[in-house]
């Protein structure tokens, strides 16, 4: 993400990419006096989408949101002696259901948490994005673009299941260290998923997730590296499933050039998101990687992206290529042009499950 949006972007997903886990630095302060503050941030976008579906032999034109939904967030902070108490609630809405639910747009709450912060670091309690694959997705160069085709509702998936899984929002208690000379560590317990439904199904321990990030400047080269992971167990009367994953990545930036490489490996879950299932899943493997390059020239940022995922559990192999241009009208208004090429094969048969080329032209307004 370019520097303008690093300073002014208020969608929480962008704030997370900057490490602002305790709440976005909103451009609009509703109240800020005597150590107490309330601020509001928003992210709005829409894309004209033209997709050539080669498997279905159809071409469709749509007006949809991009990879990031439209969002409004509220941030709270109050200084109480040596502690700072904070909180965030954010509401995420789709515009893709405008004909299916003309006056009943779906709204979901992906973040609703409080924080307690002091010299010891920060403790977060509530619902927020997970730690496994967190930096993989929020440092994606096409985060504010469109990406690969996703759910049947028309939601785009960015590079979810073509380079990384989704760090789905979960109930959690997470501790974050202070900044230790560029090193930051986060670890928490999360609501576990029931991956073994049936008689005597149980999850006797919480899900554990953690992420370590390190940032440094080496002779003008800005480096960010990360390592994150997850582990949980679920069992019923006949089956036990251990679900675990490891994510990693490195981003290097110098002048206007930025290069990013990331990847993951997991077992015991489909590499899209971890959730309760209708039937026990198997402890099969998945892995994927994402390679990206971007170059910023004036108000324009040019991006090339390629990712793959290979999943035994999901029985698929995918690859996704995107080329995109992001143009800043100003620090709060951006235009986007993206061309995306997505392919998916059924791994067990080699048959084509998807083959689609997508042109997406959009606009993003943030405050």
Would you say 22 and 117 are in contact if contact means Cβ atoms under 8 Å apart?
Answer: yes
CA nearest neighbour of 293 among 251, 264, 342:
251
Report the alpha-carbon distance of residue 71 to residue 119 in Å, rounded.
31
Task: Find tokens 């606009």 and name the residue.
Answer: 363
Q: Which helix (DSSP H) or strand (DSSP E) does residue 295 occupy?
A: strand 285-297
The alpha carbon of residue 236 and the mean position of all alpha carbons in its chain are separated, in whole angstroms, by 31
The pLDDT score that the predictor gives to residue 4 is 36
| CATH top-level class of 3-366 | mainly beta
Check pLDDT > 90 for residue 97. no
Pairing of strands 58-64, 36-53: antiparallel
Check pLDDT > 90 for residue 106. no
pLDDT digits (tens, 9 = 90+) for 186-224: 999 999 999 999 999 999 999 999 999 999 999 999 999
- What is the greatest pairwise CA distance in the chain? 65
Of 19-23, 115-119, 121-125, 244-248, which range is least confident?
A: 19-23
pLDDT digits (tens, 9 = 90+) for 325-355: 999 999 889 999 999 999 999 999 999 999 9
Report the alpha-carbon distance of residue 55 to residue 37 in Å, rounded.
53
Q: Which neighbouring-strand residues pair with 212?
A: 185, 227
Classify residue 5 by its DSSP letter: H
The pLDDT score that the predictor gives to residue 14 is 52
Check pLDDT > 50 for residue 10. no
CA nearest neighbour of 11 among 44, 46, 42, 47:
42
The pLDDT score that the predictor gives to residue 239 is 94
> What is the percent of the chain where pLDDT is above 70?
92
Check pLDDT > 80 for residue 7. no
Give the model's confidence band at 153: pLDDT under 50 very low, under 70 low, under 90 confident, else very high.
low
Give the model's confidence band at 23: pLDDT under 50 very low, under 70 low, under 90 confident, else very high.
very low
Report the alpha-carbon distance of residue 134 to residue 132 in Å, rounded.
5
Q: Mean of the per-residue pLDDT values for the chain?
A: 90
Report the alpha-carbon distance of residue 350 to residue 282 in Å, rounded.
21
The pTM is what?
Answer: 0.91
Give the model's confidence band at 98: pLDDT under 50 very low, under 70 low, under 90 confident, else very high.
confident
DSSP-assigned letters across all residues of 177-225 = ---BTTEEEEEEEEPPP--S-STT-B--S-EEEEEEEEEEEETTEEEEE
Would you say 335 and 362 are in contact if contact means Cβ atoms under 8 Å apart?
Answer: yes
CA nearest neighbour of 52 among 339, 308, 318:
339
Domain ranges within the chain, ordered by starting residue:
3-366
Question: Cβ of 5: how many Cβ atoms within 10 Å?
Answer: 23
Structure token pair of residue 194:
């029931």
* Average pLDDT value for residue range 224-253: 97
Question: Cβ of 335: how many Cβ atoms within 10 Å?
Answer: 15
Which residues neighbour 128 within 8 Å (Cβ) at sequence distance 6 or greater? Answer: 21, 110, 111, 113, 169, 170, 172, 174
């Amino acid at each position: 993400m370019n520097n303008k949006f690093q300073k002014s972007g208020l969608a929480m997903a962008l704030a997370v990419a900057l490490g602002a886990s305790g709440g976005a630095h909103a451009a609009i302060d509703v109240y800020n006096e005597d150590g107490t503050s309330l601020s509001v941030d928003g992210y709005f976008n829409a894309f004209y989408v033209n997709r050539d579906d080669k498997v279905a032999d159809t071409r469709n034109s749509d007006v949809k949101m991009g990879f990031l939904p439209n969002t409004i967030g509220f941030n709270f902070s109050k200084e109480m002696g040596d502690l700072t108490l904070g909180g965030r609630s954010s509401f995420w809405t789709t515009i893709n259901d405008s004909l299916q639910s003309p006056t009943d747009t779906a709204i979901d709450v992906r973040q609703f948490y409080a924080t307690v912060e002091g010299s010891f670091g920060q403790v977060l309690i509530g619902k927020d994005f997970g730690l496994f694959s967190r930096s993989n997705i929020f440092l994606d160069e096409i985060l504010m673009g469109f990406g690969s085709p996703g759910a049947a509702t028309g939601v785009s998936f960015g590079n979810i299941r073509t380079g990384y899984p989704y760090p789905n929002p979960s109930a959690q208690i997470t501790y974050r260290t202070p900044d230790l000379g560029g090193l930051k560590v986060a670890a928490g317990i999360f609501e576990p998923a029931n991956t073994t439904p049936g008689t005597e199904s149980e999850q006797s321990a919480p899900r554990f997730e953690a992420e370590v990030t390190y940032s440094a400047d080496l002779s003008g080269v800005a480096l960010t590296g990360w390592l994150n992971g997850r582990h949980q167990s679920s069992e019923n009367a006949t089956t036990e499933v251990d679900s675990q994953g490891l994510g990693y990545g490195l981003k290097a930036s110098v002048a206007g050039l930025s290069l990013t490489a990331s990847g993951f490996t997991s077992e015991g879950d489909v590499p899209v998101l971890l959730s309760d299932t209708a039937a026990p899943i198997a402890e099969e493997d998945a892995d994927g990687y994402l390679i990206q390059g971007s170059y910023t020239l004036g108000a324009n940022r040019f991006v090339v992206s390629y990712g793959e995922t290979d999943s035994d559990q999901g029985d698929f192999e995918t690859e996704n290529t995107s080329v995109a241009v992001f143009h800043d009208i100003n620090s709060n208004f951006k235009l986007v042009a993206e061309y995306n090429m997505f392919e998916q094969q059924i791994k067990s048969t080699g048959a084509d499950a998807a083959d689609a080329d997508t042109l997406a032209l959009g606009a993003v307004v943030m405050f």
